[in-house]
């Protein structure tokens, strides 16, 4: 739940109006700005009236040359277009422009906060963070507690996206202390309730279910005691998730279902996450058919642009379900979709340096996919042609003319592809054999081996720009001689030799350096000399039979 400022014109501030109640038919021209804001809050669903009111407000503010009221006028237009972030974004820029250099309790901090809110909704997270930090600077200068809490709350959500859950928890705790110690709970009720909700989510994440339960009950009591049930749907969803982990499955189902029934009234409820836990709860209650129905809803709704890690388990559960049903076509479809989603997610959050750890890691997932394809091929050649029609058939047809021998035995893309690999390996062996034929004097061989020993001892292999020619130059020899020594004495080619040294170094660091164990996989890859995470994971898996995250969990210690 991303926050707007508490002291806004409308939407988040639909508190009970104490001002005189006006008829919609009353003339707007003689109303004060305060009266116009009150009318906006009361009649915000009346689009025709609100359009007239907003134009009246902004026109008068511009006529008075009142920069603060002009900004408030732009905020009304912002809230009218809040469901169209790209349009609303233009009005936040106008709020910022008109209040440049102004020293006010709310401006220009509010403009930057609202802009950050929209950017976060648009998943432009780095830009959102920049906007929040600027807003925070102005809010702290003007001691606007409401803005400060809203900003830090939203930054905590960004930290959660980064996987920095402990840091997020600390922010929520500080916000709760700030709200509790300054007698501001009633003034900032929505902030207080949302903070309780996010605290409970964090404690659920850290498996402190009793603590999470405590804050959830506090939040629900607080929201039901007020005039407006702030974040009630979100609290019910979190309560259902907490009940699931507490193995109170009937309570979990009731809370999650109620949350879904209220979700249309709340823009903050994550319906897909609620679907997931409702599905998981129903599985525990042995209502599998109903549970799979909710998981399928997630499958239908999720695509690359709205995929989040919280919904990932839905796809792994569907893979398990289709595997049990021997529905290989759907099993393969979900696997391919999940690989695509994870790939898109990694690109999406590259700038945020997010480290994704998941049950079905991509290396194992791709491996399972290949095994499944082989199984499908053995079961039905027609099925595999249909599944791979987008590319496999074309490749097979092209390959038939070149690989006549394989035409009689292997008529699909995967097997032709394997033959290409074998062919490439054969060429590599011929090249290696040619290298072996080069004669070396014993003294020269000993010198190169001695230099290689120094090369390893000094950990030169950690440099990320190494090639055979570069290393040969460093060792004061030539590429042919060096290649032969590595092939003969190390029993591997140059690339595998370097990769193995780097992976071995990485393993030592994982075992002996606690700080290194907390690096992201991307940081580890760079630290040991790999230019990209894919090469690192592939080399690590080849040598150890698992990916880095699995190795750390199994052997890394505390």
- Per-residue confidence in pLDDT tens, the chain, 558 aa: 454 444 333 333 333 333 334 444 457 777 888 888 888 877 777 778 888 888 888 888 898 888 998 999 899 888 888 888 888 999 999 999 999 888 888 899 999 999 998 888 887 877 888 888 888 888 888 888 888 888 888 888 877 766 678 888 888 888 888 777 655 566 778 888 888 988 898 888 888 888 889 999 989 998 888 777 888 889 999 999 999 999 999 999 999 999 999 877 655 558 999 999 999 999 999 999 999 999 999 999 988 877 877 888 999 999 999 999 999 999 999 999 988 888 776 665 554 443 323 332 344 455 556 666 666 666 555 544 554 554 444 344 334 443 333 343 334 434 444 444 444 444 445 444 444 444 556 667 788 888 899 999 999 999 988 899 899 888 888 888 888 889 888 888 999 999 999 999 999 998 888 888 888 888 899 999 998 888 899 899 888 888 888 888 777 554
Closest-CA residue to 88 (of 78, 103, 101, 76): 78
Angle between helices 288-301 and 312-324 (to 10 degrees): 130
Going by the DSSP 8-state scheme, the letter that residue 16 receives in this structure is: P
| Total domains in the fold of the chain | 3
Q: Within this chain, do residues 52 and 150 fall inside the same structural domain, yes or no? A: yes
Please give the Cα distance from 228 to 231 (Å, whole number): 9
Cα-Cα end-to-end distance for the chain: 33
Please give the Cα distance from 199 to 500 (Å, whole number): 44
DSSP state string for 75-90: HHHHHHTTTSHHHHHH
Q: Within this chain, do residues 420 and 455 fall inside the same structural domain, yes or no? A: no
Q: Within this chain, do residues 52 and 143 fall inside the same structural domain, yes or no? A: yes
Taking only Cα atoms into account, the Rg of the chain, rounded to an integer number of angstroms, comes to 31
Q: What is the pLDDT of residue 269?
A: 59
Of 400, 435, 470, the residue at which a domain comes to its end is: 435
Q: Within this chain, do residues 430 and 442 fall inside the same structural domain, yes or no? A: no
* Domain annotation covers residue 35: yes
Q: Within this chain, do residues 442 and 430 fall inside the same structural domain, yes or no? A: no
Q: Which parts of 182-287 fold into alpha helices (H)?
A: 189-205, 209-224, 232-245, 249-262, 271-284
CATH number at residue 131: 1.25.40
DSSP state string for 137-156: HHHHHTT-HHHHHHHHHHHH
Q: Within this chain, do residues 405 and 516 fall inside the same structural domain, yes or no? A: no
Which structure tokens are listed for 344?
A: 């898109």
Report the Cα 396 to chain-centroid distance in Å. Answer: 38
Q: Within this chain, do residues 548 and 412 fall inside the same structural domain, yes or no? A: no
Of 119, 136, 162, the residue at which a domain comes to its end is: 162
* Domain annotation covers residue 526: yes
* Domain annotation covers residue 353: no
Please give the Cα distance from 78 to 98 (Å, whole number): 15
Biggest alpha carbon–alpha carbon distance for the chain? 104
Structural domain of residue 532, as residue ranges? 437-555
Q: Within this chain, do residues 422 and 442 fall inside the same structural domain, yes or no? A: no
Q: Within this chain, do residues 430 and 512 fall inside the same structural domain, yes or no? A: no
* Domain annotation covers residue 206: no
Of 395, 417, 435, the residue at which a domain comes to its end is: 435
What does the H/E/C string look like for 116-135? Answer: HHHHHHCCCHHHHHHHHHHH
Q: Within this chain, do residues 20 and 128 fall inside the same structural domain, yes or no? A: yes
Please give the Cα distance from 438 to 441 (Å, whole number): 10
* Domain annotation covers residue 385: yes
Q: Within this chain, do residues 413 and 535 fall inside the same structural domain, yes or no? A: no
Which structure tokens are listed for 436?
A: 């072996």
* Domain annotation covers residue 236: no
Sign of CA dihedral 216, 219, 223, 226: positive
* Domain annotation covers residue 97: yes
CB contact at 8 A, 416 and 394? no
Number of alpha carbons in the 13 Å side-chain half-sphere of residue 423:
9
CB contact at 8 A, 334 and 315? yes
Which structure tokens are listed for 435?
A: 């290298």
Please give the Cα distance from 381 to 551 (Å, whole number): 38
Please give the Cα distance from 487 to 445 (Å, whole number): 12
Long-range CB pairs of 299-306 (<8 Å, 24+ gap) are 299/334, 299/337, 301/272, 302/272, 302/341, 303/341, 304/340, 304/341, 304/344, 304/345, 304/348, 305/123
Number of alpha carbons in the 13 Å side-chain half-sphere of residue 149:
28
* Domain annotation covers residue 231: no
Q: What is the pLDDT of residue 368?
A: 58
Q: Within this chain, do residues 388 and 472 fall inside the same structural domain, yes or no? A: no
Please give the Cα distance from 108 to 104 (Å, whole number): 7
Q: What is the pLDDT of residue 442?
A: 67
The residue behind tokens 């998943």 is 123
CATH number at residue 549: 1.10.10.60
């Amino acid at each position: 739940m991303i926050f707007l400022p508490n002291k806004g014109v409308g939407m988040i501030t639909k508190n009970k109006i104490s001002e005189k109640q006006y008829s919609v038919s009353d003339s707007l021209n003689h109303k004060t700005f305060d009266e116009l804001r009150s009318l906006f809050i009361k009649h915000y669903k009346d689009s025709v009236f609100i359009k007239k009111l907003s134009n009246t407000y902004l026109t008068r503010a511009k006529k008075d040359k009142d920069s603060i009221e002009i900004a408030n006028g732009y905020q009304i237009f912002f809230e009218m277009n809040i469901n169209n972030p790209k349009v609303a974004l233009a009005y936040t820029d106008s709020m910022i422009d008109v209040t440049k250099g102004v020293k006010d309790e709310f401006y220009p901090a509010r403009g930057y906060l609202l802009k950050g809110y929209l950017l976060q909704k648009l998943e432009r997270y780095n830009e959102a963070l920049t906007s929040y930090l600027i807003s925070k600077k102005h809010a702290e200068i003007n001691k606007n507690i409401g803005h400060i809490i809203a900003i830090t709350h939203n930054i905590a959500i960004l930290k959660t996206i980064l996987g920095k859950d402990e840091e997020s928890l600390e922010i929520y705790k500080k916000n709760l202390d700030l709200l509790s110690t300054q007698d501001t709970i009633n003034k900032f009720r929505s902030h207080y309730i949302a903070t309780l909700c996010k605290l409970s989510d964090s404690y659920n994440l850290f498996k402190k279910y009793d603590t999470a339960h405590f804050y959830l009950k506090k939040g629900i009591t607080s929201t039901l005691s007020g005039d407006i049930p702030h974040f009630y749907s979100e609290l019910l969803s979190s309560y259902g998730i907490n009940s699931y982990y507490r193995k109170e499955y009937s309570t979990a189902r009731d809370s999650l279902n109620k949350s879904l029934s209220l979700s249309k009234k709340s823009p903050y409820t994550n319906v897909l996450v609620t679907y997931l836990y409702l599905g998981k709860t129903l599985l525990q209650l042995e209502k599998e058919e109903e549970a799979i129905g909710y998981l399928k809803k997630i499958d239908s709704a999720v695509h690359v642009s709205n995929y989040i890690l919280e919904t990932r388990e839905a796809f792994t559960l569907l893979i398990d379900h289709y595997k049990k049903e021997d529905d290989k076509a759907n099993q393969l479809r979900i696997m391919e979709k999940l690989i695509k989603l994870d790939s898109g997610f990694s690109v999406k959050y590259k700038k945020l340096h997010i480290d994704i750890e998941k049950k079905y890691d991509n290396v194992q997932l791709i491996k399972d996919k290949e095994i499944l394809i082989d199984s499908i091929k053995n079961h039905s050649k027609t099925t595999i042609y249909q599944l791979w029609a987008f590319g496999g058939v074309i490749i097979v047809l092209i390959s038939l003319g070149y690989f006549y021998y394989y035409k009689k035995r292997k008529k699909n893309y995967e097997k032709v592809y394997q033959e290409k690999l074998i062919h490439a390996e054969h060429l590599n062996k011929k090249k290696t054999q040619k290298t072996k034929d080069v004669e070396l004097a014993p003294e020269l061989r000993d010198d190169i081996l001695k230099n290689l020993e120094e090369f390893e001892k000094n950990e030169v292999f950690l440099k990320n720009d190494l090639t055979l020619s570069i290393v040969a130059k460093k060792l004061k020899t030539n590429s042919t001689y060096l290649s032969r020594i590595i092939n003969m004495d190390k029993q591997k080619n140059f690339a595998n030799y370097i990769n193995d040294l780097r992976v071995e170094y990485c393993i030592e660091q994982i075992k002996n350096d606690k700080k290194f164990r907390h690096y992201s996989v991307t940081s580890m890859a760079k630290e040991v000399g790999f230019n990209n995470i894919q090469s690192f994971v592939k080399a690590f898996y080849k040598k150890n039979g698992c990916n880095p995250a699995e190795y750390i969990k199994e052997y890394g210690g505390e």
